[in-house]
C-alpha cells in the first residue's frame, strides 16, 4: 500500500542564529497542545502532526486540505543531517529551514548552509529570526501568527523589519534565489519564502509551520509517496553505546518499513555488514521513564519517516552518515555492491598529492570535500574517523611542505597521532565549523608562503657600490685588502665588477675598526678583502666598483623588491643596469 510519509525537516544556520531555540519552541508549542494529538518524540527527531500544526497556526492551516501527515524535525541541527548516502540522492532532509538572525544578517555559515542546500537541491525557507530584538518591537502576545504581531508595531519598527528583510532578499538574490516575505509570495516553488519569527516569543512560529507544511504538500507530494510495506531504508545519525544494549544506532528511516528480526545491510568504509535487528527502540516520555526507570521501550515495527534506535550485533565500524537498508526479498549481493560503491564514491579517494581530510560523518566529509574543491585545494585522502597514527605516517610521505597537513572536522585526534605529528612536523587543523577549518589552513599556507618568500628575498643580491680609497691598500692580492668608502650597501659574499662590467672578484670579509661585519652601509669607511683581483692590475686605487648582480636577482629587484630599494640603491641599480646593457641590450628587461 502506498501513502504519503512525513517530510523530514532540518534546521540550518550560523552559530547562535537560533536553531536550538527554534526547535525547542516548536517542540514546546506542540507539547502545550499535547491533548490535541500525539506529539511524538522520536530518536533524534521530533514529529509534529498535522493536527497540532493546524491548531497552533489557527486559521492559517486547514487540516482537511492536507495529505502530508505532519513534519519530522531532525533534532541535531546543521550539516549532520546532510548526506548523499540516500538511495534517491540528495540530502536526508526533504525540506530545510535556514535560520538568519535579522539583527546579524548573513554570516559565513549562512553562506555555507545555502551552498549545501543548493548542492543537494533541497527546497528551503528562511526564518528571519529574533524579530523581537528589533529596536522598539512590542510583543503583545506570545506564539501568535506574524501578521497579528506586525500590525501592532509602530511604523518605523515595521520599516526597520522590512529593510532587514530586503537585505536578506538581496543576499539570497546574490546566491541566485528569488525571495520575498512569505505573505507577499504567490509561488513558493520558484521563490524562497522569508518568514519573520521570534524563536523566543513564538511570534511567527505558526507561520513557519504553515509555510513548511504548505511547501511539502504542494511541491513534494510525489517525492513523499512511499510503499508503506516496502523494505526500510534509512541513514545512521549517530552510533551510541547504551547501558544494557551495547552499541546501538540512531537511525532516521526515510522510506518503507523496518521490523524487529529484519535482516539489514549497513554501510561501512570497506564492506557493508549484514546483521539482524535485535530490537527497535523508541524513547519513553519523561513520566514513563520515572515509572519504569527505562529510557526506551521496544516496538515491533516502524514506518517512515521516523527516528528509531536500532540494536543489532556486529555494529563494529559503523559510523554516522552510513546507510542502513532492510534486505527484504532483494538480492543481498547486488544490494551490497550498490551500497559499497555509494560509500566508496565519497570515502575512498586516493590521489598522489594533496592534504588528508578526516570528518565525523559522511555528510560532513562530503561538505568539507566540496568546499576544499571549491577553494582549489587538492585532497590526497578523505576518510571518516579520528586522526590516527596511520594518518600522520601517510602525511609524512608527502613531499610538498604545504600539503603536509591534516584537516580534521569535528573528530578526535588520538594522543599517539598528536605526538607523532609534532615529531614529524605535520600540521593538524581541527574545528567543527567548515569555513573556519579551511580558513585556518589557508592562513597557515599564506604564512608559510610569506616566510618562504622572505627567505628567498633575503638571499637576493642587492645593488651595492664602493670606492677604493687612495693610499689604503693593505694587501695587493690573495686576497686583496683595501680600504673603501661604501656608496651603497655591500655584504660579504657579494660578487664585484668594474665599471666596464667585468667581474673582478668577490667580497670575502668586511672589517669595521678591526671587527668583522656582515654588511657595510652608505658612508661607512671599512676594510674589505676581495678574493680574485690584484691591486694595480684588475683594480686600482680610487676606482669605483659595483656589485655584479645576477640577472635573475635583478628581475626580482625590479618586481617583488622594487618598493624595498632605498633611494641610493635605486640610483646604483640604474647604473648597474646601464653597464650591463652595454654588453646585453636585453639584460633584465
Ligand X SMILES: Nc1nc2c(ncn2[C@@H]2O[C@H](COP(=O)(O)OP(=O)(O)OP(=O)(O)O)[C@@H](O)[C@H]2O)c(=O)[nH]1
Q: Considering the rule CB under 6 A, would residue 19 count as an interface residue with ligand X?
A: yes
In angstroms, give the least distance from the CB of 75 to ligand X. Answer: 11
In whole angstroms, give the CA distance from residue 304 to residue 254. Answer: 5
| Contact set for ligand X, span 273-332 (CB under 6 A) | none
Site string for ligand X, 51-80 (x = CB under 6 A): --------------------------x---
Interface region with ligand X, contact rule CB under 6 A, candidates 42-50, 118-126, 128-136, 246-254: 128-136
Q: Considering the rule CB under 6 A, would residue 129 count as an interface residue with ligand X?
A: yes
In angstroms, give the least distance from the CB of 48 to ligand X. Answer: 18
Q: Is 125 annotated as a binding residue?
A: no
Three-state SS letters, 7-31: CEEEEEECCCCCHHHHHHHHHHHHH
Neighbours of 244 (CB within 10 A): 7
Interface region with ligand X, contact rule CB under 6 A, candidates 14-22, 351-359, 454-462, 492-500: 14-22
CA terminus-to-terminus distance, the chain: 80
- Of the pair 133, 147, the CB lying nearest ligand X is at 133
Q: Is 16 annotated as a binding residue?
A: yes
In angstroms, give the least distance from the CB of 22 to ligand X. Answer: 7
Q: Considering the rule CB under 6 A, would residue 133 count as an interface residue with ligand X?
A: yes
In whole angstroms, give the CA distance from residue 323 to residue 236. Answer: 6
Q: Is 131 annotated as a binding residue?
A: yes
Q: Considering the rule CB under 6 A, would residue 20 count as an interface residue with ligand X?
A: yes
Interface region with ligand X, contact rule CB under 6 A, candidates 18-26, 263-271, 288-296, 446-454: 18-26
Q: Is 205 annotated as a binding residue?
A: no
- Of the pair 23, 466, the CB lying nearest ligand X is at 23
Q: Considering the rule CB under 6 A, would residue 156 count as an interface residue with ligand X?
A: no
Q: Is 553 annotated as a binding residue?
A: no
In angstroms, give the least distance from the CB of 410 to ligand X. Answer: 13
Neighbours of 482 (CB within 10 A): 24
* Environment class of 186 (CB within 10 Å of its CB; exposed 0-12, middle 13-18, buried 19+): exposed
In whole angstroms, give the CA distance from residue 168 to residue 173. Answer: 8
Q: Is 420 annotated as a binding residue?
A: no
Q: Considering the rule CB under 6 A, would residue 15 count as an interface residue with ligand X?
A: yes
- Of the pair 77, 483, the CB lying nearest ligand X is at 77
Show Cβ contacts of residue 162 under 8 Å, excluding neighbours closer than 6 positions.
181
From candidates 18, 123, 214, 483, binder to ligand X by CB under 6 A: 18
| Contact set for ligand X, span 188-207 (CB under 6 A) | 198-200
Grid coordinates of 358: 578526516
Which residue in the block uniquely carries the three cell numbers 646593457? Answer: 581
C-alpha torsion 113→82→3→302, nearest 10 = -140
Neighbours of 174 (CB within 10 A): 10
Instruction: Determine the size of the site formed for ligand X (CB under 6 A).
Output: 16
Q: Considering the rule CB under 6 A, would residue 464 count as an interface residue with ligand X?
A: no
Q: Considering the rule CB under 6 A, would residue 104 count as an interface residue with ligand X?
A: no
Cβ distance 195 to 128 under 8 Å?
yes
From candidates 5, 80, 130, 282, binder to ligand X by CB under 6 A: 130
In angstroms, give the least distance from the CB of 144 to ligand X. Answer: 14
In whole angstroms, give the CA distance from residue 313 to residue 300. Answer: 17
The sign of the torsion formed by the CA atoms of 177, 181, 186, 189 equals positive
Core vs surface per residue 301-332: b (16+ CB within 10 A) or e:
ebbbbbbbbbbbeebeebbbbbbbbbbeeeee
- Of the pair 15, 393, the CB lying nearest ligand X is at 15
Q: Considering the rule CB under 6 A, would residue 138 count as an interface residue with ligand X?
A: no
DSSP letters for 434-493 = HHHHHHHHHHHHHHHHHHHHHHHHHTSPP--EEEEEEEEEEESSSSEEEEEEEEE-EETT
Q: Considering the rule CB under 6 A, would residue 164 count as an interface residue with ligand X?
A: no
Q: Is 536 annotated as a binding residue?
A: no
Q: Is 180 annotated as a binding residue?
A: no
Grid coordinates of 532: 680574485
Q: Is 173 annotated as a binding residue?
A: no
Q: Is 298 annotated as a binding residue?
A: no
Q: Is 129 annotated as a binding residue?
A: yes
* Residue ranges at the known binding site for GTP: 13-20, 75-79, 129-132
- Could you list the residues that contact ligand X (CB under 6 A)? 13, 15-21, 77, 129-130, 132-133, 198-200
* Residue ranges at the known binding site: 13-20, 75-79, 129-132
Amino acid at each position: 500500500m502506498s501513502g504519503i510519509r512525513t517530510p523530514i525537516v532540518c534546521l540550518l544556520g550560523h552559530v547562535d542564529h537560533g536553531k536550538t531555540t527554534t526547535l525547542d519552541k516548536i517542540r514546546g508549542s506542540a507539547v502545550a497542545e499535547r491533548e490535541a494529538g500525539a506529539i511524538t518524540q522520536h530518536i533524534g527527531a521530533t514529529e509534529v502532526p498535522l493536527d497540532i500544526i493546524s491548531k497552533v497556526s489557527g486559521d492559517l492551516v486547514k487540516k482537511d486540505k492536507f495529505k502530508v501527515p505532519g513534519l519530522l524535525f531532525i533534532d541535531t541541527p546543521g550539516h549532520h543531517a546532510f548526506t548523499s548516502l540516500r538511495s534517491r540522492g540528495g540530502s536526508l532532509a526533504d525540506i530545510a529551514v535556514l535560520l538568519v538572525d535579522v539583527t546579524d544578517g548573513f554570516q559565513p555559515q549562512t553562506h555555507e548552509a545555502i551552498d549545501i542546500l543548493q548542492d543537494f537541491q533541497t527546497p528551503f525557507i528562511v526564518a528571519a529570526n529574533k524579530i523581537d530584538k528589533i529596536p522598539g518591537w512590542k510583543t503583545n502576545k506570545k506564539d501568535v501568527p506574524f501578521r497579528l504581531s506586525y500590525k501592532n508595531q509602530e511604523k518605523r519598527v515595521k520599516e526597520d523589519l522590512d529593510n532587514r528583510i530586503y537585505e536578506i532578499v538581496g543576499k539570497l538574490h546574490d546566491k541566485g534565489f528569488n525571495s520575498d516575505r512569505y505573505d507577499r509570495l504567490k509561488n513558493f516553488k520558484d521563490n524562497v519564502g522569508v518568514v519573520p519569527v521570534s524563536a523566543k516569543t513564538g511570534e511567527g512560529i505558526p507561520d513557519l509551520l504553515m509555510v513548511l507544511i504548505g511547501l511539502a504538500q504542494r511541491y513534494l507530494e510525489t517525492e513523499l509517496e512511499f510503499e508503506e510495506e516496502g523494505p526500510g531504508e534509512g541513514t545512521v545519525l549517530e552510533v551510541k553505546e547504551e547501558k544494557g544494549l551495547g552499541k546501538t544506532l540512531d537511525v532516521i528511516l526515510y522510506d518503507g518499513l523496518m521490523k524487529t528480526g529484519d535482516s539489514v545491510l549497513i554501510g561501512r568504509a570497506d564492506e557493508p555488514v549484514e546483521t539482524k535487528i535485535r530490537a527497535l527502540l523508541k524513547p519513553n516520555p519523561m513520566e514513563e521513564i520515572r515509572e519504569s526507570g527505562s529510557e526506551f521501550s521496544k516496538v515491533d515495527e516502524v514506518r517512515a519517516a521516523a527516528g528509531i534506535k536500532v540494536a543489532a550485533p556486529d555494529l563494529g565500524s559503523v559510523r554516522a552518515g552510513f546507510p542502513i537498508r532492510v534486505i527484504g526479498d532483494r538480492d543481498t549481493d547486488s544490494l551490497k555492491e550498490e551500497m559499497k560503491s555509494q560509500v566508496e564514491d565519497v570515502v575512498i579517494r586516493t590521489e598522489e598529492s594533496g592534504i588528508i581530510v578526516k570528518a565525523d560523518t559522511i555528510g560532513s566529509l562530503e561538505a568539507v570535500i566540496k568546499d576544499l574543491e571549491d577553494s582549489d585545494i587538492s585532497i590526497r585522502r578523505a576518510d571518516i574517523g579520528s586522526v590516527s597514527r596511520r594518518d600522520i605516517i601517510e602525511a609524512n610521505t608527502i613531499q610538498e611542505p604545504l600539503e603536509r597537513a591534516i584537516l580534521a572536522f569535528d573528530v578526535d585526534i588520538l594522543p599517539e597521532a598528536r605526538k607523532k605529528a609534532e615529531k614529524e612536523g605535520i600540521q593538524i587543523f581541527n574545528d567543527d565549523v567548515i569555513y573556519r577549518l579551511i580558513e585556518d589552513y589557508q592562513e597557515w599556507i599564506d604564512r608559510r608562503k610569506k616566510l618562504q618568500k622572505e627567505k628567498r628575498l633575503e638571499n637576493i643580491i642587492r645593488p651595492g657600490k664602493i670606492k677604493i680609497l687612495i693610499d689604503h691598500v693593505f694587501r695587493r692580492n690573495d686576497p686583496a685588502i683595501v680600504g673603501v668608502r661604501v656608496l651603497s650597501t655591500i655584504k660579504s659574499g657579494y660578487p664585484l665588477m668594474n665599471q666596464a662590467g667585468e667581474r673582478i672578484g668577490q667580497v670575502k670579509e668586511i672589517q669595521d675598526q678591526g671587527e668583522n661585519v656582515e654588511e657595510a652601509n652608505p658612508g661607512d669607511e671599512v676594510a674589505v678583502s676581495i678574493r680574485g683581483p690584484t691591486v694595480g692590475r684588475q683594480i686600482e686605487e680610487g676606482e669605483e666598483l659595483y656589485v655584479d648582480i645576477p640577472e635573475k636577482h635583478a628581475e626580482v629587484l625590479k618586481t617583488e623588491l622594487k618598493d624595498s630599494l632605498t633611494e641610493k640603491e635605486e640610483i646604483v641599480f640604474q647604473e648597474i643596469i646601464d653597464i650591463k646593457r652595454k654588453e646585453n641590450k636585453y639584460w633584465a628587461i
